[in-house]
Amino acid sequence: MTRRHTASELSYRLVVGFLATVAIMILVGPILVVLITSFTTAPSLKFPPPGFSFKWYEALFDPVRSRHIHVAASNTLAVGIGATIAVTVLGVAAAAGLAGKRGRWARALENGFLGPLILPTLAYGFAALMFFSLLGFRTSLPLLVIGHAVVIAPFVFRTTLASLGQLDPALLESSASLGVGRFTTFRRVTLPLIAPGIAAGAFLSFIASIDNVPVSLFLSNARTDMLPIRMWGMMESTLDVRVAAASGVLISCVVVLMVAMERLVGLSKRI
Amino acid sequence: MASVAATVAPLSRARRDGVEWRLASPLALVYAAFFAAPLLLLLAISFFDDTDLTRVGGSQWIKFFTDPFYLSVIGHTLKLGAVTVLATSVLSFPLALVFCASRTGVQRLLLLIIIMPLLTSVVVRTFAWIVILAREGVINQTLLALGLSATPLPLLQTEFGLVLALTQIEMPLMLLPLITVMRTIDPNVLDASRALGASRWRTFFQVILPLSLPGWVAGSTLVFASSVTAFISQTVIGGGRLVFLPSVIWQQSMVVYNWPFAAVAAVTLLVTVLFGIGLLGALGAHFARR
């Protein structure tokens, strides 16, 4: 009996340990591979790289040769910042209007606001293209801000709603019983308590906008090029090693921002 | 304090049902105008017979659903989602188990390892898999160096390569809900199962697995919806040989400029995702009852 038990214990530990190791390797490996490849000397994606150099980073930051990439990057940043500010204001207000409500309308609205998380945003991107062009709009950065706002709003809405759900109602009630107005209570009591949730959500929304493909695919063009779309184009045509350098820059930014947000607002608890 | 609660309670109960429209309506209006309206327009446009949008009719739907090629595209798309859910599940359960058994410090590190890919651009992660799967890539170089293969294996433009890449890209979406639910399982329940003589395997399949199903359903929903619509990964790693619904939408709308037909494909993609999600939910409910 005991021997059978130890054998099964051993096989369980081996299988779980092996699969968990594979999972971690699959999660981290590709990112390390890209980082290593970005320092290659070769004009191809040969792995391991034959030598170490910064030449692809130099090519990436060259203002003449990589002008199109720089335009795409600044468009992406502008749309990301604009859309994030818009959805943070709208999303926090909507979460405050729905927090703790159980009515039919409240549930319908909550599901609607979270819809873009599971509905295929590629279908939405195409729908938005037809919608705007039938209304007579030409593709522009403001249209991209609107399109991005729709698909990134769920992140800040969700984290804010979760933070509001954890608030102690007694705090708000005691503030009200002391004769403090509702707006002042929100500003002085509620807002400081839910600020970390809002910040984490705004960060996730911003990242979702920076990385967005399905909406930009349809709403951007040569004039309003976006970074992920340009990188996709560079991957499709000639395998340009500058994509590895651009990936290296993006990965470094994500790591720095992620660690900062983890320290400041406990990001991992709020996703 | 009790009197305060008594005076406040009826007020908050009255407020509980109603939405505070002054706060919620701005986002609701934005969604009505720029989310619901385009999707309704998408449905409407799928019922035009010609690309100039002059004649109304169902011919695009008939064309789509009588062509064996497009029917097989729907099948391939559903299968891709299902296989990705399966692959991410097989890897996520063990990692979630290890996570729950780890010390707090290790847990924090693991969480960052799980979240980092999620925050890294999908384009970057797809690019990474090109470097890994290419003829001169990591896997082929390793196989050649070890003498396991005489010639480089074609891994790009295969279903295997695509599923492998999507497994990495979607795994965090499975892991996060799974870990959230598994953490809430009372350790006493597991100790009881072990004390009653159940092996580790039996404890996993009969106690841990059923209790973590809500997390699995939430994770599977996200993984399925995301892998089925992962246009960049599908086109770059799957290549031209493997065709899924997103690339039909892209081809028909931006290359052929047949909007009504692209709209049929887009509505079909929407319905396919909702069908998959419904199926996963029903599966979860079925097992939860057992």
Q: Is the pLDDT of residue A50 over 70?
A: yes
Looking at residue B252, its pLDDT comes to 92
3-state secondary structure A134-171: HCCCCCCHHHHHHHHHHHHHHHHHHHHHHHHHCCCHHH
The pLDDT score that the predictor gives to residue B72 is 93
CA B72 to chain centre: 21
- Closest partner residue to A120 (CB to CB) among B115, B201, B269 is B269
pLDDT in tens, A198-212: 999 999 999 999 999
Evaluate whether residue A215 is within a structural domain: yes
**Using the beta-carbon criterion (under 8 Å), do B94 and A16 form an inter-chain contact?**
yes
- Which residue on chain B is closest to A13 by alpha carbon? B200
Specify the pLDDT at position B10: 45
Q: Mean pLDDT, 10 residues at a time, over chain B (290 residues)?
A: 42 60 90 94 92 87 93 93 94 92 88 88 89 84 84 84 91 92 84 81 84 90 92 86 91 91 94 90 77
What pLDDT score does A3 carry? 55
Question: What is the pTM (predicted TM-score) of this model?
Answer: 0.90
Q: What is the mean pLDDT of residues A26-31?
A: 91
**Cβ atoms of B185 and B208 closer than 8 Å:** yes
Q: How many domains does chain A have?
A: 1
Query: What pLDDT does A2 receive?
Result: 53
The whole-angstrom separation of Cα A162 and Cα A170 is 17
B positions 171-210 inside 8 Å of A (CB): 171-172, 176, 199-201, 204
Question: Looking at residue A49, what is its pLDDT?
Answer: 84
- Whether A58 maps to a domain, the answer reads no
pLDDT, residue B7, reads 42
The token duo for A157 is 């809405």
Range of the domain at A154: 66-269
Domain ranges (residues) in chain B = 59-289
Residue A52 in any domain: the answer is no
Tell me, yes or no, whether A217 lies in a domain: yes
Residue A57 lies in a domain: no
| B16·A100 Cβ contact <8 A | yes
Q: What's the pLDDT band for A221 if we cut at 50, 70, 90?
A: confident
Domain for residue A18, yes or no?
A: no
**CA separation for the pair B145, A51 (Å, rounded):** 19
**3-state class of B48 per DSSP?**
strand
Helices (H), chain B: 2-17, 21-31, 37-45, 59-66, 68-101, 104-119, 122-133, 138-145, 159-182, 187-195, 200-203, 209-211, 213-228, 231-236, 245-250, 259-289
Q: What is the pLDDT of residue B48?
A: 92
CATH classification at residue A176:
1.10.3720.10
Residue that wins the pLDDT comparison between A86 and A2 = A86
CATH code given to domain B59-289: 1.10.3720.10
Report, as an integer, the average pLDDT of A125-133: 94
Tell me if ipTM is over 0.90. Answer: no
Asked if residues A226 and A83 have their Cβ atoms less than 8 Å apart, the reply is no
Is A50 a member of any domain? no
pLDDT of residue A131: 95
Asked if A8 reaches chain B (Cβ–Cβ under 8 Å), the answer is yes
